[in-house]
């Protein structure tokens, strides 16, 4: 029998009521350690956030979305969950950040999903972790990844949190004008063809101003990235990525997952349109809530974040209880 929350109106009312609470204040800074784990012969870099505990603690595995690395955003968010009673493991995908792999800044969906599976396995094996109590947390593209991985019902995965998630490829690219999509397809095809014969990758911006070439040329995308990742973020990815996004639709498989799931959407999100995520939440019987603002408001400093972090912790405490 599935243990998901049922009844969307009840879910929304319950979560709304929880926002009168405050997120647990982070205590003294958690202990932060780095480690690596292998995926298909390549070293993946990970970070553990923890506090001393007399008993094993549940663990939350976290990763960011398109072109983001674990040294951004997560060092601020992870301690919130540590203070709430969880160990946290973050990681960089292969080809990104402090993880190994060539070519650099390659975004490959299947590779990233394999990284997620390996990260779950690595997290459950850490000393002091309760490997039977694992949560997945993803945002934007990785919000789609946790829905996909959740559908696999990996032993020990008890809760899934997806915020501003990519759930349907067509819905996501529908926000990009047709001429820009045509240009992305042409450049992406050239990059993919070149990779087959060993040519150097063709790189394009991740976020771009409207009317210019980039994976995300929507209004506000470039400024949003600069706001949450910093002005000097590495704004480039392999162009072949543009060929994968339209065909990646976690909503096709997500309903097979048995772990309780929380899906958060931004009302004005023009990067991962919320309608598809709302429909998925209703179909799954998942907990779901809309928040004020757009795609980047779910992060620290955004107008949705203060309520969202409380709701996520309340959801996890219900389905991934701490001692």
CATH assignment at residue 77: 3.40.50.1820
Kind of pairing, strands 31-39 and 203-204?
unpaired
Q: 10 pLDDT exceeds 90?
A: no
Q: 61 pLDDT exceeds 70?
A: yes
The stretch 271-283 carries a mean pLDDT of 97
In a domain, 82, yes or no: yes
Q: How far is CA 137 from CA 11, 75, 164, 207, 263, in A?
A: 19, 14, 11, 23, 10
- Contact between residue 294 and residue 266 where contact means Cβ atoms under 8 Å apart: yes
- So what's the pLDDT on residue 170? 97
Picking from 225, 247, 269, the residue at the C-terminal end of a domain is 247
Q: Clarify whether residues 210 and 154 are in a common domain.
A: no
- So what's the pLDDT on residue 11? 38
- So what's the pLDDT on residue 141? 98
User: How confident is residue 28, by pLDDT bands cut at 50, 70 and 90?
Assistant: low
Q: Clarify whether residues 237 and 253 are in a common domain.
A: no
In a domain, 2, yes or no: no
In a domain, 3, yes or no: no
Contacts 24+ apart (CB under 8 A), 196-200: 200/103
What is the pTM for the complete model shown? Answer: 0.91
Structural domain total, the chain: 2
Q: Clarify whether residues 56 and 146 are in a common domain.
A: yes
Q: Clarify whether residues 242 and 257 are in a common domain.
A: no
User: How confident is residue 74, by pLDDT bands cut at 50, 70 and 90?
Assistant: very high
Token pair 């243990």 in the structure block, residue: 3
In a domain, 1, yes or no: no
Q: 4 pLDDT exceeds 60?
A: no
Q: What is the pLDDT of residues 133-181, one digit of tens each?
A: 999 999 999 999 999 999 999 999 999 999 999 999 999 999 999 999 9
Q: 113 pLDDT exceeds 70?
A: yes
Domain that holds residue 203: 169-247
Q: How many CB atoms lie within 10 A of CB 165?
A: 32
Residues forming a β-bridge with 161: 137, 262
Q: Please, what is the average pLDDT of the chain?
A: 92
């Amino acid at each position: 029998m599935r243990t998901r929350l049922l009844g969307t109106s009840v879910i929304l009312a319950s979560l709304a009521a929880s926002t009168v609470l405050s997120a647990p204040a982070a205590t003294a800074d958690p202990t932060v350690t780095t480690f690596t784990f292998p995926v298909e012969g390549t070293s993946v870099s990970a970070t553990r956030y923890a506090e001393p505990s007399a008993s094993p603690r549940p663990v939350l595995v976290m990763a960011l979305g398109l072109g983001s690395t674990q040294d951004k955003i997560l060092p601020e968010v992870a301690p919130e969950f540590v203070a709430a009673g969880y160990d946290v493991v973050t990681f960089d995908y292969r080809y990104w950040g402090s993880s190994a792999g060539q070519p650099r800044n390659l975004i490959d969906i299947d590779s990233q999903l394999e990284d997620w599976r390996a990260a779950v396995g690595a997290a459950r094996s850490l000393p002091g972790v309760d490997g039977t109590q694992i949560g997945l947390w993803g945002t934007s593209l990785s919000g789609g990844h946790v829905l996909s991985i959740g559908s696999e019902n990996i032993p020990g995965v008890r809760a899934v949190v997806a915020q501003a998630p990519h759930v349907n490829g067509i819905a996501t690219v529908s926000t990009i004008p047709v001429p820009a999509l045509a240009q992305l397809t042409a450049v992406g095809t050239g990059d993919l063809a070149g990779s087959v014969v060993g040519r150097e990758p063709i790189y394009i911006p991740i976020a771009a101003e409207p009317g210019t070439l980039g994976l995300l040329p929507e209004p506000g995308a470039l400024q949003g990235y600069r706001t949450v990742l910093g002005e000097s973020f590495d704004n480039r990815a392999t162009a072949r990525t543009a060929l994968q996004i339209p065909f990646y639709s976690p909503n096709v498989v997500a309903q097979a997952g048995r772990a309780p799931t929380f899906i958060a959407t931004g009302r004005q999100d023009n990067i991962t349109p919320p309608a598809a995520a709302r429909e998925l939440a209703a179909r799954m019987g998942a907990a779901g809530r809309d928040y004020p603002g757009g795609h980047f408001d779910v992060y620290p400093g955004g107008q949705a974040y203060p309520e969202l972090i409380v709701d996520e912790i309340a959801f996890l405490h219900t389905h991934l209880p701490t001692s």
